[in-house]
Amino acid sequence: MNKYYHIVTYGCQMNVHESEKIAGILADLGYKSCGSVNSADIVVFNTCCIRENAENHAFGNIGMLKKLKSEKKDMIIAVGGCLPQQMGKAENLHDKFPFVDIIFGTHNLHKLKEYIISKSCTKKPVIHIEDDSGIICEGENPCRTSYPNAWVNITYGCNNFCSYCIVPYVRGRERSRKSENIISEVKGLVAEGYKEITLLGQNVNSYGNGSDEISFAELLRKISAIEGDFRLRFMTSHPKDFSEELAEAIASCDKICKCVHLPVQSGSDRILKAMNRKYTVADYIKKIEILHKYVPDCAVTTDLIVGFPGETEEDFQSTLELVKKVDYSSAFTFVYSRREGTVAAKMAEQIPEEISKNRIMRLVSLVNGLTRKHSCSYVGKTVEILCEGYDEKKDMYLGRDTYGRMGYFKCAENAIGKFINLKVTSANGISLIGEKV
């Protein structure tokens, strides 16, 4: 008899890829993917806790399964990832949702198979959270879901302890995979036909730090030298570790996309210091200048936080100024979210919600204006995009160019996984519309 799984993923690309690994484990146990919780024999929530709303969202959706579980007693519900890895949260989840069968953290995802077997045999809930052991799992067999893109981890964890951020507490200390393992994984993916490889880490620029591994720039050069028709992307970069060598590598390797995500968080030196970001606005601008010296047309995107404790209107104005100066191609904007256990959570002067809301609205409006301006500058040009999907509502294919800009087009045959020359006819805010030429 067929058994089905459904995975609900919250959060970043790292989590999206980890859900592919969970899918690999479930496939190994004989489960097949299905599109909804209603027809699933096992539902796995792969959670995020970076901001309070991500956590609330997961709590809400887990709670909604109570009724279904009472009707389908044999259905297994598992909750894993960053949320239960936080101190005390696994117990909290268990108390609130006693119908959840398996709770696991970020450091023991690879043991999910044994937890499922144990639950099926003993019928008892399995609650296992492990501490960071520094182990790197190799030989995983993810069920990849994002063809023609494939995610490849290069580092895990983070050592930066930005004062607002929970990640170092739930993902443990930074550790790098061996370059030979990364290179052989990429070779295999290219041979299988993947056309875009995205290297993943909380801070890819510090790849190999504290070991005798090659530098991140060298890793990029080696991967670029793999034969085949593919693109290379990476995320995320920490500005303090962004090197001239990396800018040089982007310039000299055709396969590396001309798009760097360089989160700045704030445009105020005072706030950057309080955030423990370890650079000033001037240092950051210098890095962008170095990048543009080597790759003049490189697109830069960023992450920004408003309403960090103690942020004044003047600090916020400095952020607006920096955004205009760098002329970001696009940006992710966030309202600061207080995370228990972080240094910033204990800071005085938490900013009232209405002030943060007002600031985020002004920031989003500025960022949207820049994004629109960049999109409009494409009209009339022809760009190469890698088709990565089909939008049913729009009845159009979609894909991104080297700068990360999304373009839509009509096509009679299946274009997914093909490099397409797109003549841009119009721009629609964040994305482009064009014709295949």
Q: Is 165 in the site for ligand 5AD (CB under 6 A)?
A: yes
Q: How far apart are CA 80 and CA 109, in angstroms?
A: 8
Residue 334 binds which entry of ligand SF4, ligand 5AD, none, CB below 5-8 Å type-dependent: ligand 5AD
Q: How far apart are CA 412 and CA 73, in angstroms?
A: 46
| Span 197-236, contacts to ligand SF4 by CB under 6 A | 202-203
Task: Convert residues 27-66 into a mask of x (bound to ligand 5AD by CB under 6 A) and - (unbound).
Answer: -----------------------xx---------------
| Span 145-174, contacts to ligand SF4 by CB under 6 A | 158, 160-162, 165, 167-168
Residues contacting residue 92 through CB under 8 Å, at least 6 positions apart: none
Q: How far apart are CA 175 and CA 153, in angstroms?
A: 11
Residue with tokens 């085949």: 228
Residue with tokens 């295999």: 188
Identify which range of 54-62, 322-330, 334-342, 351-359 contacts ligand 5AD by CB under 6 A: 334-342
- Give the sign of the dihedral formed by CA 8, CA 12, CA 14, CA 20: positive
Q: Is 332 in the site for ligand SF4 (CB under 6 A)?
A: no
Burial of 98 (0-12, 13-18, 19+ CB in 10 A): exposed
Q: Are 348 and 335 in contact (CB under 8 A)?
A: no
Q: Is 238 in the site for ligand SF4 (CB under 6 A)?
A: yes
Residue type, 300: V
Instruction: Name the packing angle between helices 281-294 and 244-252 (round to 10°).
Output: 30
Closest distance of CB 165 from ligand 5AD, Å: 4
Q: Which C-beta is closer to ligand 5AD: that of 80 or that of 307?
A: 307
Q: Is 275 in the site for ligand 5AD (CB under 6 A)?
A: no
Q: Which C-beta is closer to ligand SF4: that of 169 or that of 316?
A: 169
DSSP string, 281-336: HHHHHHHHHHHHHH-TT-EEEEEEEE--TT--HHHHHHHHHHHHHHT-SEEEEEE-
Closest distance of CB 48 from ligand 5AD, Å: 10
Residue 104 binds which entry of ligand SF4, ligand 5AD, none, CB below 5-8 Å type-dependent: none
Q: Is 104 in the site for ligand 5AD (CB under 6 A)?
A: no
Identify which range of 117-125, 130-138, 329-337, 380-388 contacts ligand 5AD by CB under 6 A: 329-337
Q: Is 128 in the site for ligand 5AD (CB under 6 A)?
A: no
Residue with tokens 């901001």: 51
Q: Which residues bind ligand SF4 (CB under 6 A)?
A: 158, 160-162, 165, 167-168, 202-203, 238
Q: Which residues bind ligand 5AD (CB under 6 A)?
A: 50-51, 164-165, 263, 265, 303, 305, 334, 336-337, 339
